Amino acid sequence: MTWRALFLLALILLQGGCSGAVEKPASGGTVEKGAVENRVAGERGGAAEGRIAGRESDAAGRRITVFVGAASKPPTEEAISVFQKRFGIRVEAVYGGSGTLLAQIKLARRGDIYFPGSSDYMERAKREGVVRPGTERVVAYLVPAINVPRGNPQGIRELRDLARPGLRVGLANPETVCLGGYAVEIVERNLHPEEEVAFKKNVVTLGESCEKTANLLTFRAVDAVNLLTFRAVDAVIGWSVFENWNPERIETVKLKPREVVRIGYLPLAVTRYSSRPDLAEKFIEFLLSPEGKAIYRRHGYFMTPEEAFRYVGEEKPVGGEYRPPVDWVDWLREGG
């Protein structure tokens, strides 16, 4: 299918299923007493306003902004909530595709932590001087997989099945989302040229983040001509953890060990633009603490490369950087 299918996704319908004012004392009584009360009220009011201004200034100083690749959104949201309550430090999280977030940080020259969904974009951030040397840490590990609607209605068992005629496949955008790069790399390394051509014909839409790519499996689209609804996609190449995000509606089909090219991981680092690197480091330390790691483990993320290897069935390279070949980039920009 070509991008004409996008017109059938008309608005992606039928989706089933990131202070009070200070009250000053009133004056009253005789003129003299009232004058005294007014003066006292003014002094109290001024002191109260001063305390409020001080608290607001302190609150503004105890705030960090984290640019987070959506590959870690569910556990990161929980971790932020716990961290804020524990330490009284406000964390503003900006979620999206890792490439888009990196561009936003560079353009705005702001942000305290860059937390992409894979090593690919962290390598670019380090190369471009966006993050501070020596501050990179790894929170968890990810394994690529095929994700399908719960029940696997199309009976997809392996990567080559995604080249079957008539199948509708979704990908993360390889130009801005780390997951999209993994998908292209997997297809390039495993499918024969004729299978790759058939696979590309089946790609009907691109997700602009990991979250949006996973959500494609929960959408129903509308055929505006025949007024019929159908699944937006039959499968996506995503992360194994997508099933944990929405277990009632998403199912994971493991790639064969030979089909997995490499293991991904979730890195984060303090940016060169951070105004509070001390608070940024405190947040990173929390994520790496036993309590922080337990949150990611509970959401189905792998906490060591060895855990990921056991899931895959054999050892694989970890991390690295990959860029889609020119023919893929051209194909994407031409609309498939």
* DSSP per-residue letters across 28-91: -SSHHHHHHHHHHHHHHHHHHHHHHHHHHHHHHHSEEEEEEEGGGHHHHHHHHHHHHHHH--EE
The pLDDT value given to residue 335: 75
> What is the arithmetic mean of pLDDT over 244-264?
97
**Token pair 């994520």 is at which residue?**
287
- Residues 137, 158: one domain? no
- Asked if 95 contacts 68 with a C-beta cutoff of 8 angstroms, the reply is yes
Q: How many CA atoms lie within 13 A of 26 on its CB side?
A: 2
Task: Answer with the residue of higher pLDDT: 156 or 8.
Answer: 156
- Cα Rg, the chain, nearest whole Å: 25
Verify that 293 and 205 share a domain, yes or no: no
Same domain, 208 and 327: yes
Whether the per-residue pLDDT at 106 is higher than 80: the answer is: yes
CA 71 to chain centroid, in Å, comes to 4
What is the average pLDDT across 214-229? Answer: 66
Give CA torsion, residues 140, 145, 150, 152, to 10 deg.
-170
Q: Domains in the chain: how many in total? A: 2
203 backbone dihedrals φ, ψ, rounded to 5°? -75, 115
Mean pLDDT of 289-299: 98
- Residue 333: its pLDDT value, please? 82
User: How many Å from the N-terminal Cα to the C-terminal Cα in the chain?
Assistant: 9
Q: Is residue 200 part of a domain?
A: yes
pLDDT at 286: 98
Mean pLDDT score, 132-159:
97
CA neighbours within 13 Å on the CB side: how many for 146? Answer: 25
Asked whether residue 40 carries a pLDDT value surpassing 90, the answer given is no
147 and 134 housed in the same domain: no
Mark whether 109 and 137 lie in a shared domain.
Answer: yes
The reply to whether 226 and 88 lie within a common domain is no
> 194 and 132 in one domain?
no
Pair 107, 229 in one domain: no
Report yes or no: 181 and 325 within 8 Å, Cβ to Cβ. Answer: no
For residue 230, name the pLDDT band (cuts at 50, 70, 90).
low
Q: How far, rounded to the nearest angstrom, does the alpha carbon of residue 287 sit from its chain's CA centroid? A: 16
Contacts for 49 with CB less than 8 Å, ≥ 6 apart: 22
Instruction: Identify whether residues 235 and 152 lie together within a single domain.
Output: yes
Residue 28, domain member (yes or no): no
Using alpha carbons, list the distances in angstroms from residue 48 to 40, 88, 119.
Answer: 12, 21, 49
Domain around 220: 3-13+142-261+322-333
- Residue 85 — pLDDT band, cuts 50, 70, 90? very high
Residue 68 sits in a domain whose CATH number is 3.40.190.10
Asked whether residue 294 carries a pLDDT value surpassing 70, the answer given is: yes
Nearest residue to 145 (alpha-carbon basis) of 218, 74, 209, 241: 241
Look up residue 305 and give its two tokens: 């490369």
Range in 22-26, 51-55, 164-168, 260-264 with the lowest mean pLDDT: 22-26
Read off the tokens for 190. 């495993």
Distances (CA, A) of 35 to 46, 49, 151, 329: 16, 21, 77, 76
Mean pLDDT, range 81-88, rounded to an integer: 97
Q: Is the pTM of this model over 0.85?
A: no
Q: Tell me: do 64 and 213 sit in the same domain.
A: no
